Structure 1
Amino acid sequence: MTEHRDDGISVYGAVHLGYLAVQSRRLADWERFSALAIGMHTDRLDADTLRLRLDDRACRFLIRRGPAEDVTALGWHVDDHTTFDRILARVSDRGVPIQEGTAEESALRGVERLWRFPGPKGLATEIFTTPLSAGEPLRMLSSGWVTGEAGLGHVAITSREPEAMHAYYRTLFDSRLSDFIDENISGLRMKIRFLRVNERHHSIAIANIRGIRIDPVRTRVQHVNIQSATLEDMLAAYGRVTDLGFRMAWSVGQHTNDRELSFYCVTPSGFELEVGWNPVVVTPELDAAWTATTYRGISIWGHHTVAESPLDKLAQLRTAAARLRSPEITVPELTGSVGR
């Protein structure tokens, strides 16, 4: 592959996870889940569209009717037009196709303008510079969510090509490696790498099964994380999820690496939502002295699996077997020699 020279200026710190686009047929379940269980502001725009808010932004989750039952795009907020142009140049100079979003797509996402290009595992990457504020106050059960400079939260993705995915976000956003976790989950030896693009400990987590290239997760995204403003909010959401009959995946616990307290529940589309509180913030002082570490185990305490059935295990095996027939999407132009 031809080597391209960038200008050497890092965009680290100027990029923040802004929104997620989801496709689902279960809009009524999503409305009940987001508003009544998790406690997010939920707007039904029409029969085929939900928009979820966590703060003054017009959109943090866009859920549109469709068959995927999955996250389809990650939207990244870029601080300024100079950085935006720098990122687009990294993409276009490497021959990756770029598409401008339509006016309708931009309006639905609550941004003035967006550009879209391919991402790992078929997740579209969308970037924008100007988010729109909502014209009405928040109506939600939670007292608040932590966004701001840290962005929406994080996404975790299982991959058969973790090095290529890591290289994609390093090339695109100058991501930095926060740490690794080694863990045994349901008899599978997992290695998870955590990438940060701003003060949030990680905006992307990439998990792979060590020794064998399989992916047992049906959805492109394994889980999405959002951060409660208070411990009381997080625990109240846990209680509502249980009381309303939504499935809990992992009980309340505390992570080893970012020290976040959290629980994991299953969204109506099948990927998990992690609701957390009080993770480590990588301040400039911490960032300057940061050394990536490998932790043994995901949790200091808690995070016990909840009601995983033999049918769940069988579904994971079937998913892994089906994935063996086709290569994982890696966008090799943005992964250097690592891409396949």
Structure 2
Amino acid sequence: MSISRLGALSVDVTDLEAWRHVLVDLLGLHARPRESDQDPLLIRIDDRHHRIALYPASEDRIRTIMWEVDSPQELQETAERVSAEGIAVEWTNTVAPEERMALAAFRFVDRDGFPNEVCFGPTVDHLPLEQGRVIGGFVTGELGLGHVVLMCKDYPAAVDFYTRVLGFQLTDYIVWDGADATFMHCNARHHSLALMNECFSFKGGDFNHLMLEVASLDDVGRAYDIVNEAGIALQMTFGRHTNDGVTSFYLRTPSGFGIEIGYGGEKVNSDDWEVKTFRSPSRWGHEPQKAG
């Protein structure tokens, strides 16, 4: 039993209006109404209540990486395995049921300091989604919210934890220029999680990027044009990956980490999947860009 999908990402941000400008004004994503300046900016991209939550704060940092399981039994057993590692588990079902974003959930912080939450029964919104003018749709559903890439101080230990304790399965590896990346899946999406060693300018505990998979290559192209025209900094240019075949670009968020917008990810057939090692992350493009 294991994690079933990536559910949502919550971030503490120092410049909420800059985030709103990128996600809402430029990319046209659906923002839920806020009642006060202290409320988070909640972003919808499908039938979930929200997939991205941005909290006004004095420091930019990841607040929660939300994972989902498919049954109360899996939730309980996952919590027990995490606790058996000597990691503190905090159950979050103390608020009134109507205030919860899931039927049940627990939180823990991994060895690199990443705050994780595992939930069962996330909230679904029955109201229609406001479609933006840029992106026609996202690939979510049973595949979840794209993927995240995390930088690790003790990289082998992190891979061991996420595979042995949380049940992620190996997809493949990329090794290049001192970088070592392990890609892992928990459903048919090529990877919902990738872990990397400390390399380039990244240290253990750094959040590298969130990937959002869109429904067409035109969605990627339109977003790329708009981001460039607006002068938004890139983390990596337009390109195509070697291992999952995704065509994408990476914009640099106001909080410093990247958001990858991509199309065409390969699906994993667990019955005959062959784990491979690639020597480059890109077939073409994806040139890294220095932070301004």
TM-score, normalised to structure 2, is: 0.91
Larger mean CA deviation between 289-298 and 44-53 belongs to: 44-53
Q: Given the alignment, which residue of 22, 25, 38 partners 1:33?
A: 22
Going from structure 1 to structure 2, the CA distance change for 1:209 and 1:119 (only over 3 Å counts) comes to closer
CA distance in 1: counterparts of 2:204 and 2:58, whole angstroms: 13
Q: Given the alignment, which residue of 64, 85, 100 partners 2:91?
A: 100
CA distance in 2: counterparts of 1:275 and 1:105, whole angstroms: 36
Shift of 1:87: 0.8
Alignment of 1:129 onto 2:115: no
Match of 2:148 in 1: 155
CA distance in 1: counterparts of 2:183 and 2:96, whole angstroms: 30
Match of 2:8 in 1: 19
CA distance in 2: counterparts of 1:257 and 1:106, whole angstroms: 42
Going from structure 1 to structure 2, the CA distance change for 1:269 and 1:104 (only over 3 Å counts) comes to farther
Aligned residues: 288
Conserved 8 A contact 2:14-2:60: yes
Larger mean CA deviation between 62-71 and 23-32 belongs to: 62-71
Q: Given the alignment, which residue of 274, 288, 291 partners 1:291?
A: 274
Conserved 8 A contact 1:62-1:109: no
Q: Match of 1:288, SS?
A: coil
Q: Match of 1:133, SS?
A: coil
Conserved 8 A contact 2:8-2:51: yes
Going from structure 1 to structure 2, the CA distance change for 1:246 and 1:93 (only over 3 Å counts) comes to same
Shift of 1:91: 2.2
Shift of 1:73: 1.4
Question: What CA deviation, in whole Å up to 9, does each residue of 1:149-201 have, x standing for no partner?
Answer: 211011111222111111111123211111111222xxxx2111111111111
Shift of 1:273: 0.4
Match of 2:55 in 1: 64
Shift of 1:217: 4.8
Shift of 1:104: 5.9
Shift of 1:209: 4.6
CA distance in 1: counterparts of 2:125 and 2:211, whole angstroms: 22
Task: Kindly provide the amino acid, as one letter, of the partner of residue 181 in structure 2.
Answer: I
Mind listing any 5+ residue stretches in structure 2 that lack a counterpart? none
Match of 2:37 in 1: 47
Larger mean CA deviation between 239-248 and 257-266 belongs to: 239-248
Structure with the bigger percentage of helix: 1
Match of 1:182 in 2: 175
CA distance in 2: counterparts of 1:135 and 1:96, whole angstroms: 37
Shift of 1:120: 3.6
Larger mean CA deviation between 171-180 and 294-303 belongs to: 171-180
Question: What CA deviation, in whole Å up to 9, does each residue of 1:120-144 have, x standing for no partner?
Answer: 4211111111111124321232211
Conserved 8 A contact 2:113-2:205: no
Task: Kindly provide the amino acid, as one letter, of the partner of residue 64 in structure 2.
Answer: A
Q: Match of 1:225, SS?
A: strand
Match of 2:159 in 1: 166
CA distance in 1: counterparts of 2:144 and 2:100, whole angstroms: 15
Larger mean CA deviation between 170-179 and 257-266 belongs to: 170-179
Q: How does 1:257-268 map to 2 (within 5 A)?
A: 257-268=243-254
TM-score, normalised to structure 1, is: 0.78
Q: How large is the Cα RMSD of the aligned pairs?
A: 2.3
Going from structure 1 to structure 2, the CA distance change for 1:209 and 1:243 (only over 3 Å counts) comes to same
Q: Match of 1:112, SS?
A: strand
CA distance in 1: counterparts of 2:31 and 2:9, whole angstroms: 14
CA distance in 2: counterparts of 1:209 and 1:129, whole angstroms: 32
Higher Rg: 1
Conserved 8 A contact 1:143-1:233: yes
Conserved 8 A contact 1:219-1:271: no
Match of 2:284 in 1: 301
Shift of 1:107: 6.9
Alignment of 1:91 onto 2:82: yes
CA distance in 2: counterparts of 1:244 and 1:80, whole angstroms: 44
Conserved 8 A contact 2:66-2:119: yes
Q: Match of 1:281, SS?
A: coil
Conserved 8 A contact 1:78-1:84: yes
CA distance in 1: counterparts of 2:69 and 2:154, whole angstroms: 26
Task: Kindly provide the amino acid, as one letter, of the partner of residue 279 in structure 1.
Answer: G
Identity across aligned pairs (percent)?
29
Alignment of 1:222 onto 2:205: no
Conserved 8 A contact 2:212-2:260: yes
Going from structure 1 to structure 2, the CA distance change for 1:36 and 1:217 (only over 3 Å counts) comes to farther
Shift of 1:295: 0.5
Task: Kindly provide the amino acid, as one letter, of the partner of residue 273 in structure 1.
Answer: I
